[in-house]
Amino acid sequence: MKEKVQSFGRFLSGMVMPNIGAFIAWGFITALFIATGWLPNERLSTLVDPMLKYLLPVLIGYTGGKMVGGQRGAVMGAIATIGVIVGSDQIMLMGAMVMGPLAGWCIKQFDKAIDGKIKAGFEMLVNNFSVGIFGMCLAIIGYYIIGPFMAGVLAVLNGGVQILVDHGLLFLVSIFVEPAKVLFLNNAINHGIFTPLGAEGVAAAGKSIFYMIETNPGAGTGVLLAYWMFSKDKVVRDSAPGALIVHLLGGIHEIYFPYVLMNPLLILATMGGSVAAMIYNQIFNLGLAAPPSPGSIFAYALAAPKGGLIPVLLSVVIAAGVSFVIAAPIVRFTNKGKSLEDATEEMKQMKAESKGQKVEKAVDLADLDSIVFACDAGMGSSAMGASVMQKKLTAAGLDGITVSHSSVSEVPNGTKLVICHKDLAARATKSAPGAKIVTIDNFMNAPEYDQVIAEIAAAKKKH
């Protein structure tokens, strides 16, 4: 379920993140030139509405189409998005997230269907007219069907959000957002959901609280401060100040995730800080004029609307203070569950999974009891290499480790260490995705053999 949610969220955020610069440009124009802005300008303020209604949705539709159908899909996505924009009175950012990928998928299916069937000399004619005709059809469908449908969906969503706002319950969202951040759903939530909702808020009021939910750096700041001041582990304590600078000033929030993963109770601290800040934001009706991406204290200051700089920065201070108060006793009086190194490795694996990548997990060589040599057929060079390695292991006093050989395509399940020729590395990784892969050039006399033995001996000695 987590992988499916991450995959869907990654797809949504993938349409928005490349265009964040456009959102920021629009936010700055709004904050500066509308009637209540820093530098009111009646003529320049006319840029605000067209950018929000046309530029931003078309960019999202273009990007979504490109993600699915390449450059032809991108053009199709832009054409199709115009249909939903004109077919509804609402801002169609989410409509663009539907039309862009749909258009890319349609042209991709068409290209597959005609592949190899176009007579020489007619390629350009077919390519150009297929995009034009299918784009026109999707724009019409968007105008009459998808645009009105998405308008109804948005009305329901906005109604639900308004209920939370009217009853002062929007802070409850933070209870779910903070754990989701550590699971690398942050981009999916922020750019896939909050950025489009925030744009509508800015259009209506010149600011939006949705830009302050996931991006507030205060919650992570409190945790890092607690480690800096109260951690019993010198390595962790010494690393916390550097992480704090990158997190608070650089806006790279993922750097504090390993510190939370070391002691999962600290998720209570980040939740508490975020909830406290959101209650404060709601009471004083705060918001930002643009998405602060990345979530740096500097980005917060730049995105603050006129008259909102100090209140917005105070929101970060409140989140950090509450988070610190909760985190300090947890750090000081409870045992951390794992080392910073292990937590960082876990974070890297979760991050890669959130991007749809397969990661070779770290293998504990301390309890290694077998090694598999792999070659193409599993009988020639791998058998020779296995024999050489077995002798070296025996000489090193590692008699408990057996060495076998197999085809690179049939590595036994559960194998932890595979040695193969460098040209077979990709196949070995696919055949044994959880194993450590060591690549060599010469099965009979590879320097990597001694390195592997040294690593195994060191791991067993440490254990």
* pLDDT tens sequence across 56-86: 999 999 999 999 999 999 999 999 999 999 9
Cα gap 317→211, rounded to integer Å:
17
436 SS3 class? strand
pLDDT over 90 at 106, yes or no: yes
pLDDT of residue 345: 64
DSSP state of 362: P
329 pLDDT higher than 90: yes
pLDDT in tens, 364-419: 788 888 999 988 767 777 888 888 899 899 988 888 899 998 888 788 888 889 99
Decide: 383 and 404 in contact? Cβ < 8 Å: no
- What average pLDDT does this structure show over 21-32? 90
Average pLDDT estimate for 98-111: 94
Give 430-451 pLDDT, tens digit per residue.
888 878 899 988 777 788 899 9
- Residue 441: φ, ψ to 5°: -105, -30
* pLDDT value, residue 364: 75
Name the phi and psi angles at 244, rounded to 5: -65, -40
Least confident of 98-112, 179-193, 316-330, 420-434: 179-193
pLDDT at 267 over 60: yes
Higher-pLDDT residue of 116, 64: 64
Q: What pLDDT shows up at residue 351?
A: 57
Comparing C-alpha atoms, which of 111, 104, 114 is closest to residue 69?
104
Round to whole Å and give the CA distance between 79 and 132: 9
Looking at the predicted structure, is the pLDDT value of residue 359 above 70?
A: no
CA distances from 412 to 346, 405, 442 (A): 25, 10, 23
Q: Which pLDDT belongs to residue 6?
A: 61
Higher pLDDT, 325 or 184: 325
Tokens of 144: 């009459």
Q: Contact, 184 vs 354, CB < 8 A? A: yes
pLDDT of 138 reads 96
Whether 352 has a pLDDT exceeding 60, the answer reads no
Cis peptide before 291 (omega within 30 of 0): no
- Long-range contact set of residues 380-388: C-beta below 8 Å, sequence gap at least 24: 381/421, 381/443, 382/406, 382/420, 382/443, 384/443, 384/444, 385/419, 385/440, 385/443, 385/444, 385/446, 388/443, 388/444, 388/445, 388/449
CA neighbor of 404 nearest in space, from 379, 368, 440 = 379
Say how many residues make up the chain: 463
Neighbours of 377 (CB within 10 A): 14
Q: Does residue 274 carry a pLDDT above 90?
A: yes
List the beta strands (DSSP E) in 236-358. Answer: none
Q: Tally Cβ neighbours within 10 Å of residue 211.
A: 32
Q: Look at residue 179 in the predicted model and tell me its pLDDT.
A: 83
- Best CA proximity match to 316, nearest among 415, 236, 225: 225
Q: Are 390 and 403 in contact (CB under 8 A)?
A: yes
pLDDT in tens, 136-178: 999 999 999 999 998 888 788 777 777 877 777 888 888 888 8
**What integer best gives the mean pLDDT of the chain?**
85
For range 7-18, the mean pLDDT: 78
- Residue 421 pLDDT > 70: yes
Domains and their CATH numbers in the chain: 2-168+189-196 (no CATH), 203-354 (no CATH), 365-462 (3.40.50.2300)
Tell whether the model's pLDDT for residue 210 goes beyond 70.
yes
- Residue 3: what pLDDT? 60
Nearest to 254 by CA among 213, 197, 215, 212: 215
CA distance 20 to 192: 11
Residue with tokens 């409509």: 95
* Distance in angstroms (rounded) separating the CA atoms of residues 29 and 59: 18
* Residues pairing with 438 in the sheet: 419
Cis, bond preceding 294 (omega within 30 deg of 0)? yes
The pLDDT confidence band at residue 280, using thresholds 50, 70 and 90, is very high
CB 102 within 8 A of CB 138: yes
pLDDT tens for 286-306 read 999 998 888 899 999 999 998
pLDDT-derived band at 459 (thresholds 50, 70, 90) equals confident
Average pLDDT estimate for 120-142:
91
Instruction: Give the residue numbers annotated as catalytic, written as ranges.
Output: 375
5 or 139, higher pLDDT:
139
Residue 318 · residue 280 · CB < 8 Å? yes
**Model pTM score:** 0.65
Distance in angstroms (rounded) separating the CA atoms of residues 51 and 190: 21
Q: Is 356's pLDDT higher than 60?
A: no
